[in-house]
Structure 1
Amino acid sequence: METPEKKEELQTETSFDSVKESASGVLGGLLGQIKRLEEAMKAEHMGDVYQIYWHELPASIQQSSNTNHEMDNFLTSKLDQEIQRTFPFMIMQEVVSPILMNYQIGSYYRDRAVLQVDATQPTIEILPEIRQQWEKTLKGEYKKQLTELQNQQDAFDAKTIAAQSELQALDEKIAQQEKLKAELEETKSFMNRKKVEEEIDGINRELKDLKQQRSQWAPFAEDQLSSESQKIELANKIDSLSLEQAIALKELRLIKKRFGGLEEMDTALENFIRDFLSKGAE
């Protein structure tokens, strides 16, 4: 007959055997996943690499295997190789981080990044601010903005010229009224005081109105510093928008030449990622 102590010992051994069996199964499965990942990387079966690494391996293994960006470097290098093969006219313009790369479409007078590749997804997308500029160009919004700014500039110049003319005319009228007022003041006597004061009151009202008109026109002609500042600001806006439009037009011409259009480019980029992930698949 088994003693309680013996029974407890047997249960402990059974429990430990169960733990060992379970752990062995887990470790075996993990080793199998790591071996499959290694084989997929060697064969460059990229869809399998992404599936095993991101969706099958535990987070702890992902982190430990990428301590010095080993996996990041593998993914970015394979993506860059495939981009150069598929789109030889694209140029890597900037490495943003171990998993982000920016590309430009060809080389032209104003080189800039227009595409960003994210190796962790993977994705290749047009930078949002660049797409916005391209769409503005295609919709004619730059032309509309430039026309509005040019009209503002023309109106500003016209108002400045008109202001100078108006001020000259107002100054002459004010001088005449001031002279007439002074003459009436000299002719004022006890007998005609009331009549003269009424006339002077009328002149004062006229002067007040003329001076108010002058104050409205004065800023456009007299504050040269402010006027020049506004003119420079308008000119800078026009130059900036003109350059932005010119760059976007150049890039759209390159897209037309290489892809056929913006929509076709979007499709080509989607197909690129699909083909990259199916690379090496049987």
Structure 2
Amino acid sequence: METPEKQEELQNDTSFNSVKESASGVLGGLMGQLKRLEEAMDEERMGDVYRIYWNELPMSIQQSSNENHEIDNFLTSKLDQEIQRTFPFMIMREVISPVLMDYQIGSYYRDRTVLQVDATQPAIKIFPLIREQWEKAASGKYKAEMAELQNQQDDFDAKSIAAQSELRGLNEKISQQEKQKAELEETKTFMNRKKIEDEIEEIDQVIKDLKQQRSQWTPFVGDQMSGKSQKIELANKIAALALEQAIALKELRLINKRFGGLVEMDVALDRFIEDFLNKGAK
């Protein structure tokens, strides 16, 4: 008959063996996953690479296996290679991070990045501001905005010319009223004082109204520097919109040439990601 001490020893051995078997199974599973990941990378089965790395490996193994961006560099290099093969007119302009790359479409006088590739997804996204500019150019909104600014500029010029004439007329009327007021002051006596003061009060109100009208026209001619600044600001806005429109139209022409249109470009980029993930699939 076994002693209690012997029974406890046997139980401990059984527990330890169970732990060893469990640990062995876990380690064996991890080794199997890493082996399948290595095979998928060697055979460039990209969908399997993403699935095994992101969905099967524990976070700790993901981090340790990518400690020096080994996985990141593999994914970005394969993505860039496939982009160059599928869209040879796309040019990588900047590597933002180990998993983010910015591209332009073609080469033209004002190069700029228009889309970003994210290797962690993977995904290709057109920058929202760039898309907004393309849509504005395609819909004619740039022309409408520039026409409105040009109207403001023309209106400012017209008011400047009209203001000169209006101010001359208002100054003459104010001068006449002030002359009439001065003449009434000279005729004021003890006997007619109340009547003269009432008339002067009416003249003061007329002068006040005329000066108020004059203040509304003065900004268009009185402050030449302010007027010039406003005209320069409007001209700069028009020039900036014209340049923005020219760049957007150039890019749209490239898109139409390479893809057939913006909608077709979206479809082609989505299809590229799908094909990339299916690359090497068995």
Please indicate, yes or no, whether the TM-score normalized by the shorter chain is above 0.5: yes
Q: Which amino acid aligns with 2:228?
A: E
Q: Which amino acid aligns with 1:277?
A: L
Deviation string, structure 1 residues 110-136 (Cα, Å, up to 9, x no partner): 100001000000001111111111112
Partner of 2:18: 18
Q: Which amino acid aligns with 1:103?
A: Y
| Distance in 1, Cα, partners of 2:263 & 2:8 | 73
Partner of 2:141: 141
User: Is 2:80 the counterpart of 1:75?
Assistant: no
C-alpha deviation, 1:197, in angstroms: 3.4
SS at match of 1:124: strand
| Distance in 2, Cα, partners of 1:68 & 1:222 | 67
Mean Cα displacement is larger for which, 74-83 or 239-248? 239-248
User: Is 2:36 the counterpart of 1:36?
Assistant: yes
Mean Cα displacement is larger for which, 26-35 or 131-140? 131-140
User: Is 2:242 the counterpart of 1:242?
Assistant: yes
> Superposition pairs for residues 108-257 of structure 1, below 5 Å?
108-257=108-257
Deviation string, structure 1 residues 183-225 (Cα, Å, up to 9, x no partner): 2322334454444434333322221111111112112221222
| Distance in 1, Cα, partners of 2:265 & 2:61 | 37
Structure-1-length-normalised TM-score: 0.96
SS at match of 2:136: helix
| Distance in 2, Cα, partners of 1:121 & 1:109 | 32
C-alpha deviation, 1:137, in angstroms: 1.7
Structure-2-length-normalised TM-score: 0.96
Mean Cα displacement is larger for which, 112-121 or 188-197? 188-197
Q: Percent identity?
A: 77
Q: Which amino acid aligns with 2:67?
A: T
| Distance in 1, Cα, partners of 2:123 & 2:32 | 28
Unaligned runs of 5+ in 2: none
C-alpha deviation, 1:181, in angstroms: 1.9
| Distance in 1, Cα, partners of 2:16 & 2:188 | 125
SS at match of 1:2: coil
SS at match of 2:121: coil
C-alpha deviation, 1:37, in angstroms: 0.7
> Superposition pairs for residues 254-269 of structure 1, below 5 Å?
254-269=254-269
C-alpha deviation, 1:179, in angstroms: 1.7
SS at match of 1:101: strand
Q: Which amino acid aligns with 2:237?
A: K
| Distance in 2, Cα, partners of 1:19 & 1:208 | 100
SS at match of 1:268: helix
| Distance in 2, Cα, partners of 1:185 & 1:6 | 131
SS at match of 1:94: strand
SS at match of 1:108: coil
SS at match of 2:206: helix
Mean Cα displacement is larger for which, 147-156 or 268-277? 147-156
Q: Which amino acid aligns with 1:17?
A: N
Q: Which amino acid aligns with 1:176?
A: Q
Partner of 2:3: 3
| Distance in 2, Cα, partners of 1:94 & 1:169 | 64
C-alpha deviation, 1:89, in angstroms: 0.3
